[in-house]
Structure formats: structure tokens, C-alpha cells
Amino acid sequence: MAHTRHVSLPRLGVGGTLLLGVAALALLATQPSVRADRYSVYDGDTLEVIPGKCLLAHFHLPCLAQRLRLHGVDAFERHQNCRDVDGKLWPCGDVATARLKQLVAAPDFHCQVNENFVDRHAREFAVCLSDGKDVGTILVSEGLAFAYGRRTRYVEIEAEARREHRGAWAGTFVRPQFYRAGARE
């Protein structure tokens, strides 16, 4: 006949249980650093950040990606085409996406997220910097994105890009907001 051996755990008592509970709560309540491990680009004005540490990491689970939208900027949609000065099609959406990928690849790339503003696609708005320069400013000044919103800081930058025929301003295009609504050239 097999004997069952019972192993008794030490009794913690009220004080020990309380201490263990407080330690567990402290572990769960402390939010690890949100320094990003990785940014990935979705399109010319949207990216995802996968934080290096999060609450899930305490349980050895992967952190969830957070989708971000560049604040005050509307870039061409992926696979959207424009026409150059000669009327020839060029992939302005793919070019805008590739340019954002290039900026994200900078070693010091980072974003400041405004958690109070979320768009209808559950994206939080962010201002991002690459090599110390505002990414929105770069995209708008190169004619790969537009100022989005009446009071955005990029309105004058867009006007300058337009005057100097930079990027898409050298030819013809459908603004991204109208392209999303179904407009084509």
C-alpha cells in the first residue's frame, strides 16, 4: 500500500501573509519603464510601439503593441499614388511610409505620447523625434504629409513645401483624407 506523504508548508501567520500580499501588490502596481524596445511603421503617419516592459512582463508574457498616430500630421496612405510634374504615377504612399521607417531607424528615435487624446481607431497621438528633429516637421516639409487640423503647428511648414514644390506638391495628388473617403484622381 502506497503511503501519501504530506509536506507541510511553514505557516506565515497574519504578519507574513500581509507582507506577502503587500509585496505582490507592489509588484503589480509598479509600472516598469515604458522605454520602447521597438517601433514599427504601419504607414506614413502611424506606427506601433512595443514597450520594453509592461505589467504583462511581470508574468513573463509579451507586452502588447500600442498604435500611435503622429499628432497634427496626415500622410499619404500606403499604396496611394500621386502624379509627378510630368503626369507620371509615383507611389507617394509607399515613399511616405519608407521615409517614416528611415526616421524611426535612428538610434535616438522616440515619441512623447499624449494619452489624453485617442482617435476613432484607438490610436494615441504622439510627437516623435528623430536625431532631435520633429518627425512631423520633416514629413510635411518634404511634401510627404500634410498639416492635419486648423491649429496645427505644421500649417506654415506645409505652405512653404507647397510654394517650393517639394514632394507631392511638384505634381498632382488626392489629399489622404479624401483618398480614405474613396476619392481617386
- Residue from 80, 49, 59, 58 nearest 184 by CA: 80
pTM above 0.85, yes or no: no
Joined together, the cell numbers standing for residue 106 give 535612428
Question: Domain map of the chain by residue range?
Answer: 36-180
Is it true that domain 36-180 has CATH number 2.40.50.90? yes
- The pLDDT score that the predictor gives to residue 145 is 98
pLDDT in tens, the chain (185 residues): 555 554 444 555 655 555 544 444 444 444 443 445 689 999 999 999 887 777 777 787 877 888 899 999 999 999 999 999 999 999 999 999 999 999 999 999 999 887 766 666 667 889 999 999 999 999 999 999 999 987 789 999 999 999 999 999 999 999 999 999 999 87
Bridge partner residues of 134 (DSSP): 129
Q: Please give the DSSP secondary-structure letter assigned to residue 59.
A: G
Query: What Rg value do the Cα atoms of the chain yield, rounded?
Result: 24
